[in-house]
Amino acid sequence: MKSKNPLYEKAQKLLEESIIYYRDRPVGTLAARDFGREALNYDQCFIRDFIPAALVFLIEGDTEIVRNFLVETVTLQKQERRIDCYQPPPGLMPASFKVEMHQGEQYLDADFGDQAIGRVTPIDSCLWWIILLRAYVKATGDKALARQPDFQEGLHFILNICLGPQFEMTPTLLVPDGACMIDRRMGVDGYPLEIQALFYAGLRASRELLVADEKGKALIQKINNRLGSIVFHLRTYYWLDLKHLNQIHRYKGDEFGESVVNKFNIYPDSIPYWLTEWIPDRGGYLAGNLGPGRMDFRFFALGNLMAIISSLASEEQAQRIMDLIEQRWDDLVGRMPMKICFPAVEGLAWQIITGSDPKNTSWSYHNGGSWPVLLWFLMAAAQITGREELGYRAMAIAQIRLAEDEWPEYYDGKNGRLIGKSARKYQTWTVAGLLLAKLLQENPHHLSLFAFEEDTEASFCLI
Ligand code: GLC
């Protein structure tokens, strides 16, 4: 049901105006419609940006655009790519695509990272694509689309990359820097939480979508093994609360053997001072990253909220994450829901981690900026945990400013009061994020399109 409230009517109109048509059919939405700035690639349809818009369309019954998007992107996935003579493996989904003309004919030009700033690999795209395919099937009952050979092949390609052999001793997915929403160098290479949460949700969705023929069954078995071990790994080793911080604080280093306590050789001195004061007595979160000798203690919003939505976090952990958000509200939500990560890296750490990136200075953009698109994740997580009031509070804050500020991409400053230095205005996922949060507020049943209950099927690791 489309809203009668003027703010939401305005948002709805903006969302409709952002629709891209390909051969007269709607296929996606522009990232932004800011005519005051150079478009760069904001005139493209980004897979990750389209997700909240697609969920709004599905909820409102405009399912055709989502179907077209899924059909076109699965075709793009099969396009052969060559980057400086190198051919990446089949399975990747593009970061974005655009409608172009050649000899009077329209075609879709896709960027798989071969055109993107920094040549970042959009690993989240293929995971979001699976999550969206499940949502489409749930909303429409159109199981036949997912069962089509080209869709099954698309799924197999993605799963073969994600579940194929790696040089790895952990069940997490190893990725280069900038492989997700934070698509610039920000020290999110290795095993960043956001990718692990999307990987988990993507595997859960795949299990529902795969046709159980011989190849499908083999993949489902692999998925079940992997799901159990990811859950164990994340819930055990990524979890940070005062109790766990106390343990790390007293860790011994350089332990050898199977049953050691400090498995990843995290040195107590790597605990940043801010965290010892910031971590509340009650409350916790999943760390940003974990690898050999390295724990990224920063809080990343999308990964933590998606861990709640996908049930990657346990019920208890989900409650503690919401406790943290409530108790550190000024830092994490402030004047615009919500911070992409906390805290910002500054000074020498900024130089080393970002490569002195002028767009990612402290408390700006990916480095501690506030992103309104995160509102819908917060609303969903608040509803799943029965902490609705936190979602409503966030919504009330966002509602005051977004229209007046012309729907910015992100905000700057410790408390999110400044419109982002280089933020695009009329950013579609800002608009769609607000609409989706509102639709969820009105009817939490829509959560079932993209959320997952605690898993009972995977093979659990008994330790
Ligand atoms: C920026 C964001 C990225 C987003 C894109 C289009 O590059 O970092 O997450 O997909 O803009 O809005």
Of 40, 46, 410, which is best to mutate to test ligand 1, by the most ligand atoms within 8 angstroms of its C-beta?
46
Q: Quote the distance between the C-alpha of residue 268 and its chain's center.
A: 30
**What is the model's pLDDT at position 463?**
46
Instruction: Give the residue whose CA is nearest to atom 4 of ligand 1.
Output: 181
Would you say the CB of residue 357 lies under 6 angstroms from ligand 1? no
pLDDT digits (tens, 9 = 90+) for 349-400: 999 999 999 999 999 999 999 999 999 999 999 999 999 999 999 999 999 9
Measured in Å, residue 216 CA sits from the centre of ligand 1 at 33
Tell me, using a 6 A CB cutoff, whether residue 48 lines ligand 1: yes
- Cα distances from 246 to residues 49, 275, 276, in angstroms, run 39, 11, 9
Structure confidence at residue 39 (pLDDT): 86
pLDDT recorded at residue 1: 60
**Mean pLDDT, to the nearest integer, of 198-224?**
97
For residue 2, pLDDT beyond 80:
no
Q: Measured at the alpha carbon of residue 63, what is the angle toward residues 100 and 450, in degrees to the nearest 5?
A: 105
> Distance from the CA of 181 to the center of ligand 1, in angstroms?
6
Six-digit token pair at 74? 């699965």
> Which residue has the CA at smallest separation from atom 2 of ligand 1?
181
Backbone angles phi, psi at 333, to 5 degrees: -115, -50
Q: Is 46 in the pocket of ligand 1 (CB under 6 A)?
A: yes
Would you place residue 4 in the very low, low, confident or very high pLDDT band (cuts 50, 70, 90)?
confident
Task: Give kind and range of the element (H or E) at residue 154.
Answer: helix 149-163
Is the CB of 128 inside a 6 Å radius of any atom of ligand 1?
no
Instruction: Give which of 424, 248, 429, 416 is closest to 344, Cα–Cα.
Output: 416
Name the residue of 34, 48, 177 to mutate for ligand 1: max ligand atoms within 8 A of Cβ. 48
Q: Is the pLDDT of residue 459 over 80?
A: no
| Mean pLDDT, rounded, for 315-333 | 98
Q: What is the mean pLDDT of the chain?
A: 96
Interatomic CA distance for residues 259 and 239, integer angstroms: 19
Residues 384-393 have pLDDT tens digits of 999 999 999 9
